[in-house]
Amino acid sequence: MTGAAAKFAPGDRVRVLAHFPPGHIRTPWYCRGRTGEIERICGRFRNPEQLAYGHRDADREVLYRVGFASRALWPDHKGGKHDRVEIEIYEHWLEPMPGDAT
């Protein structure tokens, strides 16, 4: 099962959904609602949010690495101005930035 083409490409600016559902979630709390940039496409992997509940045929979803400026994550960040955090995030957690073409 290959599914549709990846929705985002490296360099695209994306926002992580500010959703807070219960259950097994791999999107860390600290990046929800924050804006970053696609660093690379990692490939397709079975959605761990379904796997965690015994769905062995979980959807194969596109997994991205998204880079965030540390200051975008924490406005009071005191490190270097170019410091960043890169996080693996599944496609269904990402939305395009308003105004950006996808």
Interaction site with other proteins (CB under 8 A): 26-28, 30, 42-43, 45, 48, 63, 65, 67, 70, 73-74, 77-80, 82-90
Pairing of strands 60-69, 84-90: antiparallel
Q: How far is the CB of 25 from other proteins (least distance, A)?
A: 9
Q: What is the CA radius of gyration of the chain?
A: 14
Residue 48 tokens, joined: 């761990």
How long a stretch of residues is the chain? 102
Residue 18 or 52: the one with the smaller Cβ distance to other proteins is 52
Q: How far is the CB of 28 from other proteins (least distance, A)?
A: 5
Q: How far is the CB of 38 from other proteins (least distance, A)?
A: 14
- Alpha carbon 97 to its chain centroid, in Å, reads 13
